[in-house]
Homo-oligomer: A and B are copies of this chain.
Amino acid sequence: MRERKNGELRKIKITKNYIKQPVASALIEWGNTAVLCAATVEDKVPPYLEGTGKGWVTAEYSMLPASTKTRNPRDISKLKLAGRTAEIQRLIGRSLRAAVDLEKLGERTVTVDCDVLTADGGTRCASITGGYIALALAIKKLLKEGVLQESPMKCAVAAVSVGKVDGEILCDLEYAEDSRAEVDMNVVMTDGGSYVELQGTGEKGLFGDDELKALTRSAKAALRKIFAMQKKVIEND
């Protein structure tokens, strides 16, 4: 039984610069899910961008072994990056790049590391939402330090999961809901109201245009609140 209303978000708490070393960081606690997002900046770009004047934004995602109910062995112990991890960090990277004008960033790479401390559903959405904050704070710092003259930020980016569970359209699924969802959708948007990524999967169920509409509408409503929260955190920096 869900204690929240169908369209209600879990409580979200953001702690800026929780850790000291990276250029900027944000610890995002989203219900019981907690992800530490850290942005570091390096003065180099992948080989295919060298000499183009363009920068790069990339993301890495990882779950601490003790972040899940049953201990989850480290990738290094199997010498393989889990397929799920590859899929998620590519999604985070694409989402964050949508927020940045890579030409204005110049030939530097921002890496956003998203390390899941506790997992209770929605870790990829928390990573995108918190990762955007770390990224935006890092850019503010570069502007302040004079490394950048002009901001390369084009818009804010955030994400939320929605789904169909026991026939109901729910917003912000926690693990117990997610694991039995008929349809599961991750919606990444800009604060201007456009889609950046839309990934819906109906492995256990199927969905039609009506459900697609209901799911995206629920996501949009939730994302408005999330963008307000992001904005407050970043502006108060």
Name A32's contact: one of B18, B20, B74 (CB within 8 Å).
B20
Q: Which residues of B contact A64 (CB under 8 A)?
A: 19, 36, 38, 113, 115
Which stretch, A8-16, A77-85, A166-174, A224-232, touches the partner chain B? A77-85
Count this chain's copies in the assembly: 6
Q: Which residues of A contact B (CB under 8 A)?
A: 18-22, 25, 32, 34, 36, 38-40, 42, 60, 62, 64-69, 71, 74-76, 79-81, 83-84, 86-87, 89-90, 94, 97-98, 111, 113, 115, 117-120, 185, 190, 192-203, 206-209, 212, 216
Task: Determine the distance from Cα of A185 to Cα of B195 in the docked complex, in whole angstroms.
Answer: 12
Q: Which residue of B lies closest to A209 (CB)?
A: B216
Q: Which residue of B lies closest to A193 (CB)?
A: B208
Name A81's contact: one of B34, B81, B84, B89 (CB within 8 Å).
B81
B76 and A83 within 8 A (CB): no
Minimum C-beta distance from A191 to chain B (A): 11
Q: Is the interface of A mostly helix, strand, loop or mixed?
A: mixed
Minimum C-beta distance from A59 to chain B (A): 11
Task: Determine the distance from Cα of A65 to Cα of B86 in the docked complex, in whole angstroms.
Answer: 17
A212 and B216 within 8 A (CB): yes
Q: Which residue of B lies closest to A183 (CB)?
A: B195
Give me 21 A-to-B residue pairs in the complex whose CB atoms sit less than 8 angstroms apart, sorted by A's number: A20-B118, A21-B68, A22-B71, A25-B66, A36-B117, A38-B65, A64-B113, A75-B76, A76-B81, A81-B83, A83-B86, A94-B203, A97-B203, A98-B206, A193-B208, A194-B206, A194-B208, A195-B202, A195-B208, A197-B200, A198-B201
Task: Determine the distance from Cα of A66 to Cα of B117 in the docked complex, in whole angstroms.
Answer: 14
Q: Which residues of B contact A38 (CB under 8 A)?
A: 64-66
Q: Which residues of B contact A25 (CB under 8 A)?
A: 66
Minimum C-beta distance from A107 to chain B (A): 17
B200 and A66 within 8 A (CB): no
